[in-house]
Amino acid sequence: MNNKRKIINDPVFGFINIPKGLLYDIVRHPIVQRLNRIKQMGLSFVVYPGAQHTRFQHSLGAYHLMQQAITQLTAKGNFIFDSEAEAVKIAILLHDIGHGPFSHVLENTLVHHVSHEKISLMLMERMNKEMNGQLSLAIQIFKDEYPKKFLHQMVSGQLDMDRLDYLKRDSFYTGVSEGSIGSARIIEMLQVKDDQLALEAKGIYSIENFLTARRLMYWQVYLHKTSVAYERMLISVLLRAKELAAQGTELFASPALRFFLYNHIGPEEFHNNPNCLEHFIQLDDNDIWTSLKVWGSHPDKVLSTLSNAIINRNIFKVEISTDPISPERKKELTYHISQKLNISLKEAGYFVSTPSIENHMYNPDDDSIDIIYPDGTIKNIAEASDMLNFSMLSKKVKKYYICYYRFA
């Protein structure tokens, strides 16, 4: 092994090289290593048992693709300083450090109105202080405050390395081949025009495949009805635990999880109380699973029934509709569950959930994908493509779910 670099063997992309120095120090940092204990796809393993890969693996993959993208762009005459290349690699390595266990479940329950992007930024700033300001340029790029806008687009945009990795990686680990994309081809076709990331016209079919694969992965994998139901169960059990904690009930929990259960944590607390960040970086998937196992024998019927249902995969039944779920239907199910479990209607409310999910695969107003032709002219992908129906791709699809406890 070359003593100037570390080589990691990744099952998706092969060997990933990390040079010794700042980048290697970042990969080894405890805040980044924590991502080894957080699954990339949350609870999707309930449908796709292979989806056991971590956010750490994803971050390394996105970093690897960023290395390739910089090599391609500089080979085409786009000048990128070594300091900028290092900074954009750091930004992509750290883009997910603000994720908690099970991602958006945490954002809706234990922490209120504090997005993982905001927490990522706070953790980057914390690491920057430790590292004597060596991450300042990476933070500027991450926040889109650096003059070269295309560098930020490679971290967060329609063609960012985050999406190029997670689609290919999630497809690989779930076995859903329809989600596989030609990330190498897309990177090979990248170009910069007027400080915007663009794609050479030769790569148009790869982008069409990328957008189609993204749509398939969202509805077939990320928003699969069973995964949605399992997630709603976890939200219910954490909300019940929060309610019991507020009443002074003693609950088993790790110190990190206990902090978030027994305190109301919103944006103000997160910014003003250093304990929030300290406890957050100690929180991972293991804290939740361990508590669920113990809560299965708690005297509170709601907490124990839901915890056991999650541990033993007794998943809520799900029905999907294109119309909102009627209040009568929800009321009827809640009443039935309260009778069956001999609990109050309020408690039975934890066993019925009616989320709605809205998604669209391409929003040209957000950050368009531009195709550049050999004569220098540029067209938006919606104009350039003769295969995809962009009115369909950009149309918001909304589905209404009713998830409820099933009896054997």
Whether pLDDT at 14 is above 90: yes
pLDDT at 408: 67
Q: Which of 144, 169, 137 is nearest to 63 (CA)?
A: 169
pLDDT in tens, 129-163: 999 999 999 999 999 999 999 999 999 999 999 99
pLDDT(391) > 50: yes
The H or E element containing residue 106 is: helix 104-108
Measured distance CA(66)–CA(93) in Å, rounded: 9
The per-residue pLDDT for range 317-350, each reduced to its tens digit, is 999 999 999 999 999 999 999 999 999 999 999 9
10 backbone dihedrals φ, ψ, rounded to 5°: -100, 130
Share of the chain above pLDDT 90, in %: 82
What are the pLDDT digits (tens) for 223-269?
999 999 999 999 999 999 999 999 999 999 999 999 999 999 999 99
Give φ, ψ of 14 to 5 degrees.
85, -140
**Arithmetic mean of pLDDT, 1-10:** 79
- The whole-number pLDDT of residue 389 equals 67
Q: What is the pLDDT of residue 173?
A: 98
Place of tokens 């918001």: 396
User: What percent of the chain stands above pLDDT 70?
Assistant: 95
pLDDT at residue 104, rounded to an integer: 78
Task: State how far the Cα of 66 lies from the Cα of 74, in Å rounded to an integer.
Answer: 12
Domain 5-94+135-222 CATH assignment equals 1.10.3210.10: yes
Which two tokens mark 70? 């910089």
Give the SS3 label for residue 114: coil
Distance, CA of 275 to CA of 280 (rounded, Å): 8
Start-to-end Cα distance in the chain: 56
CA 355 to chain centroid: 19
**Cα dihedral sign, 224-239-405-49:** positive
CB neighbourhood size of 88 (10 A): 28
Higher pLDDT, 47 or 392: 47
| Whole-number Å distance between alpha carbons of 10 and 29 | 19
CA atoms within 13 A on the CB side of 2: 10
Domain boundaries, the chain: 5-94+135-222, 225-357
pLDDT of residue 359: 73
Q: Tens of pLDDT along 352-372?
A: 999 998 876 666 566 689 999
State pLDDT tens for residues 47-68.
999 999 999 999 999 999 999 9
Per-residue pLDDT, 1: 42
Q: Is 34 exposed, middle or buried (0-12, 13-18, 19+ CB in 10 A)?
A: buried
- The CATH number, out of the four listed (2.40.50.180, 1.10.357.10, 1.20.1250.30, 1.10.10.10), of the domain defined by the range 225-357: 1.20.1250.30
For position 87, what pLDDT does the model report? 98
Q: Give the residue carrying structure tokens 């999406």.
A: 163
Query: 234, 180, 182: which is closest to 204 by C-alpha?
Result: 182
d(CA 110, CA 255): 14
Beta strands, E only, 59-108: none
Segment 176-235, tens digit of pLDDT: 998 889 999 999 999 999 999 999 999 999 998 998 898 889 989 999 999 999 999 999
* CB 279, CB 315: distance < 8 Å: no
Beta strands in 118-195, from DSSP E residues, in sequence order:
190-193
Per-residue pLDDT tens digits for 72-129: 999 999 999 999 999 999 999 999 999 999 977 877 799 988 989 999 999 999 999 9
225-357 and 5-94+135-222 share a CATH fold: no
The pLDDT, as a whole number, for residue 250 is: 97
Q: What is the largest CA-CA distance in the chain?
A: 73
Q: What is the pLDDT of residue 192?
A: 96
What confidence category does residue 382 fall into, taking pLDDT thresholds of 50, 70 and 90? Answer: confident
The answer to whether 197 touches 156, Cβ cutoff 8 Å, is no
